[in-house]
Structure 1
Amino acid sequence: MTETYLANGDEVQLFELAFQRRLPVMLTGPTGCGKTRLVEHMGLALGRPVVTISCHDDLTSSDLVGRFIVAGGDVVWTDGPLTRAVKAGAICYLDEVVEARHDSLAVLHSLTDHRRTLYLDRADEVVPAPETFMLVCSYNPAYRSSLKELKPSFRQRFVTLPMRYLPPDREAEVIVAETGVDLAAAGRLVRCATAIRMADEAFHYEPPSTRVLVTAAHMIAAGADEIDAAEACVLAPLSSDGAITEGLREVAAASLADADSTSSTR
């Protein structure tokens, strides 16, 4: 089924304006709030392919731009995903860029200022970015390690678009559109997730994303009991600490009980 993107503010318009002015964009917000989906949506809307790079501790600059390899007895240069994206005039999306090493991100500097150029020192090549190329990064500032903060000088190179979870009724719409589950069940899942998100500060965990609600709804649509689906897809992945899980279970149960009492009085 086609993935659904519902705007949650002016992020679509600002993204498009940044594209028109050839400016890089940084998407920030909690896990599963729609950052990746926005990039995919904008790729379709702007008619540009999206090259996604999942950032991690071991990501090197060579992994991004390319390297020499031995092929058939010859040493040849092979472009990395960043280089391919620049040459194709694509949208290059660095997901969770905060996870990458700082020295690896240095290759992005010349693409995020007036030069809009990628320098391949080892290949002795200079690649100017076409007008259709766009660099987009994302990360979750609320849950990054204190040892993995982006430098202010790096963040200031980007137009930053803060993102958040959809309002409950619209989040339920996404769940219904993607899974075919009925609206009442989707609403109960969202109510459960909202209660858990509000308890975030007390339990210190990463809150449930729209993504896990869609997964739970798929299970319900396939015939699973709602409580079992919520337990397996929403609660269980949040923490391996039994005490925290039990506390979250009580929060979820209370929210669902409130939903039942509200619907019974209508």
Structure 2
Amino acid sequence: MLDMLEFLKNEGVDAGLIEQVAAFRAQFPPEESLRRRVPDPRYLYYGKDIWEEAITALLCGENLLLVGPKATGKNVLAENLAAAFGRPSWDVSLYINTDAATLLGTDTFEAGQVKLRKGPIYQCAEKGGFGVLDEINMAKNESLAVLHATLDFRRSIDMPGYDRIPLHDATRFIATMNYGYAGTRELNEALTSRFVVIDMPTISEDGLQKLLTREFPRLKSDYALQFAGLFRDIQKKCDGGELSTKPLDLRGLMASVHLMAAGLTAGRALELGLVNKSFDDFERQLVQDVIRTRLPDDLSAKDVFN
């Protein structure tokens, strides 16, 4: 498993914060049965300032709300934080039909008895986990109201018909949200006030080069620079209103490099990973033009990889 504390040191995160994270891990070791829930991140978040803000907030017992557009690494950071603190994590995908029973638990009939089937929020609260509330603004506000006592100073869950459950001291919640997606809505003020909010910046070219180099060790440095520059070019076009955000897809870029490593030419790989994310012919042509200013269509794996 990756040594996250060593990674934080290499990122230049404040040494005092790293010591406090190490002390937190020593104070709250995960149960043996939950070690499989402690993330082992495939991707790493690069950004010293955001790391320091997030770590400080969690050490202070706060819950985090990560806000930002596509490709800012919200879920990557959430997973990385759980790994850095050595805590088991529960990922909760929120959507319009999410209700209190989905989050907290519901009665079930087992061995002739009515028992509580614990939901992810209940388990997270009980076991001292990090709960990742993905796209929190997709769920109905009334369903999220059950979390108010969980997220504020009361730090407890009242289950009707069952005991009042106090939160484990290590429990934290990290929510993510993206404005503008279909089905999203405004969070009400009562819920928002229970988080400290980090406005996630777009990934820097340097950070993207590090990400590409770590994921593809054989990728030549010149082409890591070109792929990072390509992503930045598309981002500038989106910021200027020339393109929608559909082709601004970091996952798509990583998938394209994977496809190139498997044998596709650059033109075909980037068409699958980026160009075809847009369904407008004119926009697809614009994205292809941006790509061709950086990379020739017939570029092959032997050109790009050592």
What TM-score results when the alignment is normalised by the length of structure 2? 0.77
Partner residue of 1:59? Answer: 98
Displacement of 1:66 after TM fit?
A: 0.4
Displacement of 1:79 after TM fit?
A: 0.4
What are the residue-to-residue correspondences of 1:27-42 with 2, within 5 Å? 27-42=66-81
1:90-121 deviation line (CA, Å, top 9, x unaligned): 00000111111111111111122111111212
Displacement of 1:147 after TM fit?
A: 6.0
CA contact (8 A) 1:212 1:234 kept: yes
What are the residue-to-residue correspondences of 1:85-104 with 2, within 5 Å? 85-104=124-143
Paired with 1:3 and 1:124, the residues of 2 have a C-alpha distance of 39
Partner residue of 1:129? Answer: 167
Displacement of 1:74 after TM fit?
A: 3.0
Displacement of 1:255 after TM fit?
A: 4.7
Displacement of 1:71 after TM fit?
A: 2.6
CA contact (8 A) 1:28 1:140 kept: yes
Farther off after superposition, 154-163 or 82-91: 154-163
SS in 2 for 1:203: coil
* Counterparts in 2 of 1:147 and 1:39: CA distance versus 1, 3 Å: closer
CA RMSD of aligned residues (A): 2.2
SS in 2 for 1:199: helix
Paired with 1:193 and 1:249, the residues of 2 have a C-alpha distance of 12
- Structure 2 residue corresponding to 1:113, chosen from 144, 152, 155: 152
* Counterparts in 2 of 1:202 and 1:46: CA distance versus 1, 3 Å: same
Instruction: Name structure 2 gaps, 5 residues minimum.
Output: 1-39, 297-306
Counterpart code for 2:275 = L
CA contact (8 A) 1:29 1:139 kept: yes
Percent identity between the aligned chains? 23
Partner residue of 1:184? Answer: 222
Paired with 2:184 and 2:150, the residues of 1 have a C-alpha distance of 25
Farther off after superposition, 242-251 or 171-180: 242-251
Instruction: Name structure 1 gaps, 5 residues minimum.
Output: 258-266
Partner residue of 1:263? Answer: none
Partner residue of 1:215? Answer: 255
Paired with 1:69 and 1:95, the residues of 2 have a C-alpha distance of 26
CA contact (8 A) 2:247 2:287 kept: no
CA contact (8 A) 2:41 2:80 kept: no
Paired with 2:201 and 2:291, the residues of 1 have a C-alpha distance of 21
Partner residue of 2:237? Answer: 199
* Counterparts in 2 of 1:146 and 1:6: CA distance versus 1, 3 Å: closer
Partner residue of 2:274? Answer: 234
Farther off after superposition, 205-214 or 190-199: 205-214
Paired with 1:24 and 1:2, the residues of 2 have a C-alpha distance of 21
CA contact (8 A) 1:31 1:209 kept: yes
CA contact (8 A) 1:98 1:144 kept: no
Partner residue of 2:285? Answer: 246
1:138-193 deviation line (CA, Å, top 9, x unaligned): 0113x245861212332222111111222113202201211233222232222222
Displacement of 1:32 after TM fit?
A: 3.0
CA contact (8 A) 1:175 1:213 kept: no
Paired with 1:57 and 1:2, the residues of 2 have a C-alpha distance of 29
Partner residue of 2:197? Answer: 160
1:38-60 deviation line (CA, Å, top 9, x unaligned): 12211121111111111111111
What TM-score results when the alignment is normalised by the length of structure 1? 0.87
Counterpart code for 1:221 = A
Paired with 2:128 and 2:157, the residues of 1 have a C-alpha distance of 12
| Number of matched pairs | 255
